[in-house]
Structure 1
Amino acid sequence: MDEDAESSTTGTCVRAAKRSGNLDRLSKLPDCLLCQILLKLPTKDVVKTGVLSSRWGNLWRYVPGLDLRYGDFPEYKAFMCFVDRFLGFNSESCLQNFKLNYQYVRVKYEWKWDDLDNANVARWINTVVNRKVEHLHILDGKWCEYEVQIPPAVYTCDSLVSLKLSDVSFTTPKSVSLPSLKVMYLDMVKFANDWSFEMLISGCPVLESLTIKRSACDNVDYLRVCSQSLLSFTLMGHCNEDIDEEQVVAIDAPKLENLKLYCHETASFVINNSASLVKTTIDVLFNLSFEKGRFDPNDLPKRNMIRNFLLGISSVKEMDISSDTLEVIYNYSRCERLPLFRNLSSLHVDFGDYRWEMLPVFLESCPNLKSLSLGFSKTPGEEPISILLGPHCNLPSLEFVDIVKPMVEEEATEMKLMSYFLENSPILKKLTLRLGNFRGKENESAFLRKLLTVPRLSSSCQVVIC
């Protein structure tokens, strides 16, 4: 929407509000409450409220937060002047939010960035730290040689509750003390070394949520997350398979409840004190990509690492796992017995192909599984692994099976999968196959007739095709 259209829309809304009397009702609220309401909006929208009346004209200046995108301004100088004016007004008051996002995609304005621009950002950060900022979000998407370096004042900001950073760099701090920080989000952040990252985490005694999106040049080979307060941890690896270092991730968080790992390049995971784990999402390859070599049964250190990793997550109750990880587990199971996942009651598996035959091996280690959902997508490319078929054991606790996507081109394989659950689940209550619009009614009816001939171990099982 262009500026003229936005102004027209704003004017229309104001006139409608005046006719209905809503404007007067809103204006009766005290300034402090209005400012808290406006705090939920982007700053460019807050400024527009100045056209409502003379009272609203300068109200935006008192809102205890700034939320701006660089692309909201026609040029950098205008942006810089606006931020300076805002921070200079009411400068003795505390600031709740300071959010700058220069991940703009507009190409109309091509600004040249240099060290001076980054110095301004660092200066603004120092200013808001002095004003006891609670939520600091700096999203840098320039992807150029100049990086915003986080100033030392941030390391000891006792008011910070959430910290969200993208494409910035950290130096090695003398000390870190962030006593109020509960949420940290680090996207493509560069550290001086392993120790600087570890210091950052150890200096957050009440940290509850940590999300890390790694870059190939973050300078951290041994990523250690040691926290007595952490409840949720998400780690996304980079996509550079040319990295030769054996990257390690070590997690020691006794209160951790939610763990998400999306890391194909990380070679080793060490998980300790995970008895509180409730949910986990696992998409890891332990650096065993097709280019770097498949699982080697004679690689004892790798086997030990995988065994310890599985033991580390074995107390989980709900799991979402990729077929890539399931393949590694299947290959490992041909060498050693899998640990039992006694608490696992809900499992979702995303298959990048139709090789569901890997699944029963893992299900045998889940004696109390109640709910299972499967998703399938046909991906051409890699040669499939050789799967050794064995006798299928019963699934004594399984009650619900939900197959989210059909095997459109593999009806025989799909029928084998359905038969596996119907013939081996003594207390199965419901099996759902979500076909959507992938098959015509005639083909669907034929498939259903075949399915009705499959013997069922559970006399109360309901089969639903939708």
Structure 2
Amino acid sequence: MAEDAESRVRAKRSDDRMGHLDRLSKLPDSLLCQVLLNLPTKDVVKTSVLSSRWENIWRSVPGLDLGYGDFPDYNAFVSFVDSFLGFNRESCLQNFKLNYQYLRLKYKWNWTELDNANVTRWINTVIKRKVEHLHVLDGRWLEDEMQIPQTVYTCESLVSLKLSDVIFNNPKSVSLPCVKVMHLDIVKFANDWAFEMLISGCPVLESLTIERSACDNVDHLRVCSQSLLSFTLLGHCNGDMDEEQVVAIDAPRLEYLKLYCHSFIINNPASLVKMAIHIRFNLSFEKRFDPNDLPKRNMIRNFLLGISNVKEMDISSYTLEAIYNYSRCERLPLFRNLSSLHADFDDYRWEMLPVFLESCPNLKSLSLGFSKSPGEEPISILPEPHCNLPSLEFIDIGKPMVEEATELELMSYFLENSTILKKLTLRLGDFRGNEESAFLKKLLTIPRLSSSCQVVIL
């Protein structure tokens, strides 16, 4: 009896498993295709071996997502893309993501005009099929550059557009009425006007990411958009770039801003809530801050006033250094709405931080990161009495220092000046022998202004 019962249980479990597979197989093709749309095409094709039910499902998936290394040679690559686009050619495509970065390195392909012709032909085909998400990553580093065909500039179905290592020539017109997300990675434009036409032709654009190179042909990067909510600018802070290039944005609905550049002008910043900034203000080791440089002071003043309403901020030590130097000449604006701040230091010069913190009267949470990197000569920081930090409740120091005296000095600043501090989290470095015990004893001797402060050692 017991054996029969156990056998029935095993049989039921087996039936349940088979039933589960049957239920999956009985799903309509349209639903299965939407599930498979989230997988790379090479994995979608593998489902054809599951059963006869799955043998041809992959052909109806409304998207293509191919990466480098998916094919043994160039001819196989071209043949597969042509074949796939030949299936269901009257139906619409949701995704076309073509990433052939590094293929030349792996297979030593000789790129010719034929390669550009193939990609152009594929893009024109998917545009006709009303593609919604077009991602083309060339990866030939602007050698035999791929030019984006004119059909892309007026595609009414596009919702997201991601381009890498391609050329955007002078368009006759740009009309992308549905594009909400755009990512431009080392895209070369014919001139400033071509870039501005692209942005102005996207009336519902919400998210824009630009990764720049020294040869993108845009000297005055101006972003004017009434719909933009998020803007990220990267790769505009290296030695090859013209330090005086202009970057300006006018986006009254902008909520998130991430900048890695030399200088920046922002207009209509009333909606800005969160930002990450690594801006040198065209300053470097060779070109230090000059208190008599009034245009430079005006640039920094206008920028600080423009971002003074943000609530969350991530800031680099280079930007803090420029702000500190500016504060020796003019009073900093108050950041009354700032409640959360993260600061990254490429060295241990935390002494420039208090000047900025004292302009943040409602700051509640602060996190710091430190890394020791030799190179630039340290700035001269003037000693001065520190003011209390009346609103700071949480401090997290994410990476330990290796200089005990500097770390203890930093702990003293926070513990002795934070009125209502609730928790300070500190990560210890690699101490030797009794060094850790000695450090902790010194830490315990630091007086605390807040009676409820908890120090957590990780």
Could you state the TM-score of these two structures normalised by the residue count of structure 1? 0.92
Alignment correspondent of 2:431? 439
Structure 2 unaligned spans of 5+: 1-13
For the pair 1:212 / 2:210, whether they are aligned, the reply is yes
In the alignment, the residues of structure 1 paired with residue 32 and residue 248 of structure 2 have an alpha-carbon distance, to the nearest angstrom, of 46
Aligned residues of 2:142 and 2:166 also touching (Cα < 8 A): no
Structure 1 unaligned spans of 5+: 1-15
SS in 2 for 1:230: coil
Alignment correspondent of 2:351? 357
In the alignment, the residues of structure 2 paired with residue 427 and residue 455 of structure 1 have an alpha-carbon distance, to the nearest angstrom, of 14
For the pair 1:451 / 2:449, whether they are aligned, the reply is no
Alignment correspondent of 1:152? 150
Alignment correspondent of 2:258? 260
For the pair 1:332 / 2:326, whether they are aligned, the reply is yes
Alignment correspondent of 1:103? 101
In the alignment, the residues of structure 2 paired with residue 193 and residue 203 of structure 1 have an alpha-carbon distance, to the nearest angstrom, of 16
Q: 2:231 aligns with which of 216, 230, 233?
A: 233
For the pair 1:385 / 2:355, whether they are aligned, the reply is no
In the alignment, the residues of structure 2 paired with residue 73 and residue 133 of structure 1 have an alpha-carbon distance, to the nearest angstrom, of 24
Letter matched to residue 453 of structure 1: T
Aligned residues of 1:283 and 1:325 also touching (Cα < 8 A): yes
Alignment correspondent of 1:375? 369
For the pair 1:136 / 2:134, whether they are aligned, the reply is yes
Residues 23, 160 of structure 1: alpha-carbon distance in 2 compared, 3 angstrom cutoff: same
Alignment correspondent of 1:172? 170
In the alignment, the residues of structure 1 paired with residue 385 and residue 229 of structure 2 have an alpha-carbon distance, to the nearest angstrom, of 40
Aligned residues of 2:182 and 2:209 also touching (Cα < 8 A): yes
- 1:8-407 matches, within 5 Å, as 20=18, 22-104=20-102, 107-143=105-141, 145-238=143-236, 240-244=238-242, 246-263=244-261, 267-291=262-286, 293-407=287-401
Query: 179-188 or 376-385, which moves further after superposition?
Result: 376-385
SS in 2 for 1:116: helix
Offset of 1:446 from its aligned partner?
2.1
Residues 18, 98 of structure 1: alpha-carbon distance in 2 compared, 3 angstrom cutoff: farther
Residues 219, 462 of structure 1: alpha-carbon distance in 2 compared, 3 angstrom cutoff: same
SS in 1 for 2:264: strand
In the alignment, the residues of structure 1 paired with residue 303 and residue 404 of structure 2 have an alpha-carbon distance, to the nearest angstrom, of 36
Offset of 1:25 from its aligned partner?
2.5
Residues 285, 150 of structure 1: alpha-carbon distance in 2 compared, 3 angstrom cutoff: same
Offset of 1:108 from its aligned partner?
4.6
Alignment correspondent of 1:417? 410
Letter matched to residue 350 of structure 1: D
Aligned residues of 2:170 and 2:190 also touching (Cα < 8 A): yes
Alignment correspondent of 2:7? none
Residues 21, 357 of structure 1: alpha-carbon distance in 2 compared, 3 angstrom cutoff: same
Letter matched to residue 283 of structure 1: H
Q: Deviations over 1:175-219 (max 9, x none)?
A: 111111111000000001111111111111111111000011001
Offset of 1:18 from its aligned partner?
12
In the alignment, the residues of structure 2 paired with residue 395 and residue 108 of structure 1 have an alpha-carbon distance, to the nearest angstrom, of 56
**Percent of aligned pairs with the same residue?**
81
RMSD of aligned C-alpha atoms? 1.8
In the alignment, the residues of structure 2 paired with residue 99 and residue 218 of structure 1 have an alpha-carbon distance, to the nearest angstrom, of 23
Residues 239, 305 of structure 1: alpha-carbon distance in 2 compared, 3 angstrom cutoff: closer
In the alignment, the residues of structure 1 paired with residue 257 and residue 349 of structure 2 have an alpha-carbon distance, to the nearest angstrom, of 26
Offset of 1:107 from its aligned partner?
4.4
For the pair 1:430 / 2:423, whether they are aligned, the reply is yes
Aligned residues of 1:118 and 1:148 also touching (Cα < 8 A): yes
Residues 167, 344 of structure 1: alpha-carbon distance in 2 compared, 3 angstrom cutoff: same
Offset of 1:51 from its aligned partner?
1.2
Residues 229, 459 of structure 1: alpha-carbon distance in 2 compared, 3 angstrom cutoff: same
SS in 2 for 1:401: strand
Could you state the TM-score of these two structures normalised by the residue count of structure 2? 0.94
Q: Deviations over 1:251-287 (max 9, x none)?
A: 1111111100012xxx431101111111110111122
Letter matched to residue 396 of structure 1: P
Offset of 1:79 from its aligned partner?
1.1
Offset of 1:403 from its aligned partner?
1.1
Query: 316-325 or 281-290, which moves further after superposition?
Result: 281-290
Offset of 1:70 from its aligned partner?
4.0
Residues 245, 193 of structure 1: alpha-carbon distance in 2 compared, 3 angstrom cutoff: farther
Residues 105, 390 of structure 1: alpha-carbon distance in 2 compared, 3 angstrom cutoff: farther
Aligned residues of 1:216 and 1:239 also touching (Cα < 8 A): no
Offset of 1:45 from its aligned partner?
1.1
